[in-house]
Chain A
Amino acid sequence: MTGPVLRVENLRVQLPNRRGILTAIDNVSFAIEPGEVLGIVGESGAGKSLTGAAIIGLLEPPLRVAGGRISLAGRRIDNLPDGAMRRIRGREISAIFQDPLTSLNPLYTVGRQLVETIRTHLDLPPAAARERALSLLREVGIAGGDQRIDHYPHQFSGGMRQRIVIALAIAANPRLIIADEPTTALDVSIQAQIIALLKRLSRDHGTAIMLITHDMGVIAETAHRVAVMYAGRIVEIGKVREIVGNPRHPYTRGLMGSIPRIGGARGRLRQVEGAMPRLNEIPPGCPFNPRCPEAFDGCRQRRPELMPTGSGSAACWLYDKSAASMAAVADG
């Protein structure tokens, strides 16, 4: 055991503005092991993408890391100077974003972009870099790489472009890939292909993957563990089977219940009333308390930290072991 690839401890990201300081990410901690896929799920504005951006050092100012620490393979990276971080980006951590068209330069052939990326991070002569580019295209399932390598991004379909983005991301054999909604812009039958590819990469190379998505179906099929985010915090984290099959936090339960499913009754869907609060309107206590069907007085006053629930943990007073009666409510 060499320890986790990524460890995030008490991460806090803040956004100073004229009226004060807004906390966008509040006390987020998790770790990802080699070869593990950690799903980060939540609704828009929950802070999933910001967490990814903070790790890779691409927060847009005035957003800034205001506390906590981020370590990659045991080495602290959140306080590195820009130059050192630039060497880590692409080499040790790489990213895949939602829209493959904006991740690729439309003016250069995919081969040129691949070779440039490879030579930036690996010490290879041009011919060897091109060989590696061809093998990367093969690895991500692009047929006829010999010709396709000299094509421009617009000559590829959406699914093929996302494969190229993945080829760029794995060009330097990174330890960690941050995939931010990698399948959201794609049609379902193409989504399936990209997910299969990501799973194979993490299995074959031991790459750790942080998979950010709002699609619980994608998470269920791909991730080993899941962190559920709400209003900038992790409200529940655990094994995918636990979170999907037996969600503990009332928010996770509401989220799982409101996903339309095929099969079963076609009646009204379960709905979570209200909407996630804006950053400047996060209520005191538990951020979910105004929407929570099980909220009681304590939830409005004290903020719950993650508490153990079986194999995972949930930030909910229902699982407070010091109040045994509450635990009984949760099990019932």
Chain B
Amino acid sequence: MAEPGPLLRIDNLHRHFDVSPPAFERLLRGKPRALLKAVNGVSFSIGRGETFALVGESGCGKSTIARLVVGLYRPTAGHVLFDGRELSRRDGRRDAALLRGRLQMIFQDPFASLNPRWRVRSIIAEPLRTQRLVAGNAALRERVAELLSQVHLSPADGDKFPHEFSGGQRQRISIARALASNPEFLVCDEPTSALDVSIQSQILNLMKDLQRQLGLTYLFISHNLAVIYQMADHVGVMYLGRLVEIATAERLFATPRHPYTRLLLDTIPSIETIGRDRPSVAGEMPNPIDPPPGCGFHPRCPFANDRCRHERPEPVDDGGTLVACHAVEEGRLAGRPIQRTG
């Protein structure tokens, strides 16, 4: 198991979507083609047994990365390397298909991701059947029962249908299904966003326990920074299809560098700040179809100058944190008070 190198490496990954108006309209009204660069040159890697979290607001491209990693989308450019081997190549699909058994995904909505007409037993057994992982019905039953108890459900629950379960229990079923093929790597796209807080903590604790027991590696996607603080070893902050900051969770929360990361940390509603008037932050994320030139964050950034408006910052190592910001690089932010909460 102790092979060197990261388990997953993402290298200059791009995924663009053509969102042009219909050809007729383009011809008639002279409208141009439009390209949505959902993921626009993203690189990071995840070590074995680690949790790497992606955080950002809706539309920043974090879920697109999840889908690229599990192969639901093909990259426009760049590479997804799993255990040193290419997952995203168009040729050699068989190789990629074999690798994918080692990769599974947990979705956000446990109501939409389980077939309502199937019994839980069949839902969990599906990956075992399609990948021919167990032989014979008795072995199949046994394995499903084992998976159900692994997520703290009873083996008898296999006879029920998804609607008989609450949201949290359904998410346990999704996790059991994901674990069926003995994966090493789980992509978790907002796994607890649809759940109530008291249930969320049950699922997060379960995911931590499973990671420790089975040596799992997680790509964990969330918009909730407090959840990420509890779960992640490394964090990547995304804005408009790019990573603006990557750091270990300790560093990111103790010394956030990028102005956008600071904004995110400053604006979380927190139970520790009763009656606080929040720092009011103007603006919203720009339209990703027509992103601003230079640094994507400059229209909202209090530290933006002329260079930020014209030249795109590349990620630079700043004492262990990778941060894509001219102001940080030039030291313009040094000594500025960081308004922090908590």
Contact = CB atoms under 8 A, between A and B. Distances in A.
B57 interface: yes
B276 interface: yes
Contacts of B169: 275
Interface string B133-174: 000000000000000000000000000000000111100000
B225 interface: yes
Given A196-B278, A262-B226, A262-B229, A216 B271 contact: yes
A307 interface: no
B210 to A, nearest CB: 13
A190 B269 contact: no
A272 B198 contact: yes
A259 B229 CA distance: 12
B226 A259 contact: yes
A192 B271 contact: no
Interface string A227-260: 0000000000000110011000000001110111
Interface in A87-144: none
Contacts of A157: 284
A260 B274 contact: no
Given A263-B253, A269-B230, A275 B280 contact: no
A129 to B, nearest CB: 29
Interface string B98-114: 00000000000000000
A61 interface: no
Contacts of A215: 269
B269 A192 contact: yes
B115 interface: no
A43 B196 contact: yes
B270 to A, nearest CB: 5
A19 interface: no
Contacts of A276: 196
Contacts of A269: 201, 204-205, 230
B197 A259 contact: yes
A165 to B, nearest CB: 16
Interface residues of B, number: 47
B224 interface: yes
B199 interface: yes
Contacts of B229: 260-263, 266
Interface string B78-105: 0000000000000000000000000000
Contact of B264 (A188, A255, A259): A188
Contacts of A275: 166, 168-169, 199
A217 B271 contact: yes
Contacts of B279: 192
Given A262-B225, A268-B205, A218 B281 contact: no
Interface string B315-342: 0000000000000000000000000011
A196 B277 contact: yes
17 contacts: A187-B284, A188-B268, A190-B284, A195-B269, A216-B197, A216-B271, A217-B269, A221-B273, A221-B276, A241-B274, A256-B271, A260-B227, A260-B229, A261-B271, A263-B253, A266-B230, A276-B196
